[in-house]
Amino acid sequence: MIEGCVLVVESHALQRSVLVNWLLNLQVACVLSAGNALQAVDHICRQEIIDIIFFDLSDGSINNLDFLSVGSKLGNVRTLVVHGELPLALLRSVSRLSSLSSIRLLGVLDKPLQPQALQKILSAFKTHHSASLREPAAKLELTPHAEVLQGLIAGEFQAWYQPKFNLHDGRLFGAEVLVRWEHPKKGLLMPSNLLATVVAYDLIDDMFKQLLEQGLEFMSRQREQGLDLGLAFNLTASQLVRDDLVEHIVQRLDQYKMPGSALMFEVTENGLLDLPPSAVENLLHLHQAGCGLSIDDFGIGFSSLRQLAHLPFNQLKLDTVFVRDVDDLGNRAVISSSVALAKALRMDLVVVGIENAHELHTLISLGCSFGQGFHLALPMTGADFSLWLKLHAPAV
């Protein structure tokens, strides 16, 4: 018997019901189910611990993995079982992703699912995970909904800016907009302490719109002083399906008389898995408006060469995990291959997380041209970034 809690994430009602009943018959004490990613997020936020998530990775109706990101940030999801008709390359990507998060990959099941296979998975959990995983975990508590709303209304969510550079000559290559919550009682809250909360409450668009407005105002002031600065913003997969958000972006660009080329939108690589037609259409709309599109956290997710070739992206951002151990031969091979791939696809490759001179010089020797990180410049408030720009007088 499994005394903990299991969550089934499956859009097909019949298949979901069958899997839930099988798990109950196998004496799982608590079985929850979700038909979409938002329902999964809701369960994850409400439960103290979820021992296993069963997820059909080939389910095209559930087209983003935001719920796994929330579970990883909250630290209350223990293991993941994926199933479906999956190519070998995708299974390797799942294994790599699991190794980089707090959620352990418990197993991979073929379709059609069979009770015997489920029994083996549950036995493996009891043997290798059950005792240790039932220990109380340090869990990030969600900030109350009313408190987050008040913070948004009061303008406490602030845009911070981290410069990106041409690594060869040190010239400014633009900046990424990051969020900080200037909480009146808790102090400065970092993204790791607030993103899971705004996703859980479906306030991610409200936060994004405030950051966009602050960024456009900042760029407008810089342009008045003769500096043609470009900014990059993060978008989640769940935001890409919302037509009104893309319309809002275009309207704000028009309001500020700003060309679309002034903005770059970064989408995590995992968010590109099985994008629905509406999301692809919105990517095309942003591209047609002149905006740049970047694949964030490149190298640890699920994108395919076909997606890279046919979706209108013009930048890859190589994940920091490959920079952390830049002397590792495997990481060097990934970096060199990414440089060659970006060049072949006529994309810029930006390396994230450069923290010392050795990493910088090694990356340059491997052919990297653009990057950002604490060694080059820390994230700054708008006021500090304005001063930094004046002191460094960079060309963009």
Higher pLDDT, 273 or 192: 192
Looking at the predicted structure, is the pLDDT value of residue 134 above 60? no
Two structure tokens written together for 117: 């296979």
Question: Considering Cα of 153, then 151, then 196, then 219, what sign does the dihedral take?
Answer: positive
- CA–CA dist 90, 93 (Å, integer): 5
Residue 191 to residue 197: CA distance in whole angstroms: 10
The whole-chain average pLDDT of the chain stands at 85
CATH number given to 2-133 = 3.40.50.2300
Residue 109, pLDDT score: 80
Q: Boundaries of CATH 3.40.50.2300 in the chain?
A: 2-133
Q: What are 255-309's pLDDT values in tens digits?
A: 999 999 999 999 876 666 667 788 889 999 999 999 999 998 776 555 556 667 7
Residue 161 binned pLDDT confidence (cut-offs 50, 70, 90) = very high
Q: What is the pLDDT of residues 207-262, one digit of tens each?
A: 999 999 999 999 999 999 999 999 999 998 788 888 899 999 999 999 999 999 99
Q: How far is CA 353 from CA 297, 326, 371, in A?
A: 11, 11, 8
pTM listed for this prediction? 0.71
CATH 3.20.20.450 range(s) for the chain read 145-392
State the Cα angle at 212 between 396 and 228, rounded to 5°: 15
What is the CATH T-level fold of the domain 145-392, as seen in this structure?
TIM Barrel (3.20.20)
- The residues, any chain, with a CB within 8 Å of residue 372's CB and separated by 6 or more, are 162, 163, 164, 165, 176, 350, 351, 352, 353, 354
